Structure 1
Amino acid sequence: MLLLKLMKRVALILPEPARTNMRDSVEVGWEIAHLARPGPIALRLALCPRRRILTYPDVPSRYQALYKLCAVNGYRIVKDPEKPHDLAFHFQYQLQPCELPLSKPTVNRGCGDVSKRRVAEVFEEIFGYKLAISPTLFEGLMVEKPNGNHTFDGRVLQGPIKPDDIMPDRVYERHIDTADNEEAVDLRTVIYGQEIPIVYEKRRPKSGGLKDNTFAKIRDPEEVFSSTERSALLAFSEKLQLDYGELDVLRDVNDNRIYVVDVNNTPAGPPKQMSDADIAEALKILSPSFERLLERVEER
């Protein structure tokens, strides 16, 4: 912490842009202090970052995996596309196509549409069975949820429903029963290029909301999914042109099939329900795959 305080004082006498770089690096150090040694991280980011990564048009917050991965690996995040950078991330919370020039090596360049409808279409194409249903014909439990990204207000309905009850901005999918001892289980699956470096098993009360997770732990992808399932998940991600992101995968206890119900190309994490030690371990596991992803994008 003394090094961070010293760097903050040094920043006061530096000219721009060195002053801003130093201040930003100190801020990253403070934010990552519970996971890694903040002084060396801040100093490396300020003086000799291993890479400069543009995130555009949005910037990851301290809650997001990209922020943490860049910090612990010595990558400086650049916010302005006019400033020097080595590669870019199409990082946008809204469902919009990438606006960066084709000349720039860009992660997730083609992954603008991760709407629920698009996810369900690609899922059926790759896996060969359906997630989406016709709400006026389907008999049984169904899920109604917004089509857009970063939404958590889905609800479970009993089908079929009346045509007048259909909402055009919502999608309707079969309800996936993942219950294990009255807990719903989400297999949050990390995708970096053509690798699945880690899976987070997340649990919440069966009666709770989508954000009410009470437990999370690291799982080995090979223990969670068969080789056929892992291949299908990677083929699914490739079809969506998802270089970097996370999939919400549910395994139905009735038919033992897996279903990809959501895709996030600006993921938060690692899960806050884990201890700091486990989050640091997750970042350690993720970093080699993240590095290989960046190398592949730079070679495009």
Structure 2
Amino acid sequence: MKIYFSPDCPKLQDYSIVAMIHYLGYTVVKSADEEFDFAYMWEDATKTIPSEELLNIARHKKVLNLHCNDISKRKVDQVWQDICGYSSLIDPCQYQGKALKKSDANGKGGGEIIDCPISLDELDTDCVYQSYIETSGIGAQLEYRLPYILGRMPLVFEVLKDDPENVPGRRIQLQYKRSISPRQSSDVFNAGECEQIICFCQQLGFDIGELDILRCRHSNRLYIIDANTTPTYFNMFNRYWRTDDKRMAIHTLAQCWEQQLLKMLSL
């Protein structure tokens, strides 16, 4: 298959989509004037505006992620709250207890543990404030990274992050505690949760990418905290992959993408 990316193109080998394209032997064209099977709106940004070129292409060809134009944490939380009826975000001026302060923009990573309530003078409007969600009892925060491909969730990655022991002022940084082992999505999420996740992606206009999901160990509730349209997961410096697991993950994702693309293009 031939793909046209716009307004940017995934040039880094770290991007998951690059691994899939290489595995499947697909071709990327440089111009919309060339022949291609479908287009992909690719822009590493929190908020996007589709170009006239892509809107014109969409009149006769599929453009992946064309309608996913806001992946800010506020937007992600709002859509999840509309579906599930609860939110992870809090008013830090009213909330009592520990909370996580982090950028509203996508891809900034980390976060800072703070004590609430805070004063209006301390409020940062560029950030969101999330209740501290305890996800495991093993001295680390357990996060699920869920690839989503045109209505399918072929596998899920478990990621362990260091636990700052709820110390105010400490930043949470990504720190793997063990090798990354992909699991079947059905082993992690029940049927009702899978339906909710698919509904979330549809409402967000999210055709393909990866979601960051937490499960509270006290309430068992799921929280989608990030939607990533330009995910990187196969960094060549990531030494936490076991070779067989990495090969299996790329194979599974690529095969799922091709199957869903063939269905999409046959409609």
Q: TM-score range by the shorter chain?
A: 0.7 to 0.9
Match of 2:194 among 230, 244, 247: 230
Residue 299 of structure 1: how far off its partner (Å): 4.6
The TM-score with structure 2 as length reference comes to: 0.88
Q: Show the counterpart of 1:294.
A: 261
Equivalent-residue separation in structure 2 for 1:171 and 1:152 (angstroms) = 13
Q: Show the counterpart of 2:211.
A: 247
Match of 1:211 among 162, 174, 192: 174
Aligned length: 250
SS at match of 1:178: coil
In structure 2, give the amino acid aligned to 1:277.
D
Equivalent-residue separation in structure 2 for 1:81 and 1:135 (angstroms) = 47
Residues 3, 37 of structure 2: 8 Å contact kept = yes
Percent identity between the two aligned chains: 26
Q: Show the counterpart of 1:257.
A: 221
In structure 1, give the amino acid aligned to 2:124.
M
Residue 296 of structure 1: how far off its partner (Å): 4.1
Instruction: Report the CA distance shift for 1:164/1:279 in structure 2 as closer, same or farther (over 3 A).
Output: same
After the TM superposition, which parts of structure 1 deviate over 6 Å for at least 4 consecutive aligned residues? none
Greater helix share, 1 or 2?
1
Equivalent-residue separation in structure 1 for 2:202 and 2:161 (angstroms) = 30
Instruction: Report the CA distance shift for 1:79/1:116 in structure 2 as closer, same or farther (over 3 A).
Output: farther
Residues 162, 174 of structure 2: 8 Å contact kept = no
Q: Does 1:53 align with 2:53?
A: no
Alignment gaps of 5+ in structure 1: 1-50
Q: Show the counterpart of 2:144.
A: 187
Residue 183 of structure 1: how far off its partner (Å): 1.5
Q: Show the counterpart of 1:86.
A: 37
Task: Specify the structure having the higher radius of gyration (Cα).
Answer: 1
Which of structures 1 and 2 has the larger relative contact order (alpha carbons within 8 angstroms, sep 6+)?
2
Residue 289 of structure 1: how far off its partner (Å): 1.8
Match of 2:249 among 278, 282, 294: 282
The Cα offsets for residues 26-54 of structure 1, whole Å up to 9 and x where unpaired, read as: xxxxxxxxxxxxxxxxxxxxxxxxx1111
Q: Show the counterpart of 1:29.
A: none
Instruction: Report the CA distance shift for 1:136/1:299 in structure 2 as closer, same or farther (over 3 A).
Output: farther
Residues 97, 113 of structure 1: 8 Å contact kept = no
Equivalent-residue separation in structure 2 for 1:204 and 1:79 (angstroms) = 38
Equivalent-residue separation in structure 1 for 2:262 and 2:50 (angstroms) = 20
Equivalent-residue separation in structure 1 for 2:107 and 2:31 (angstroms) = 24
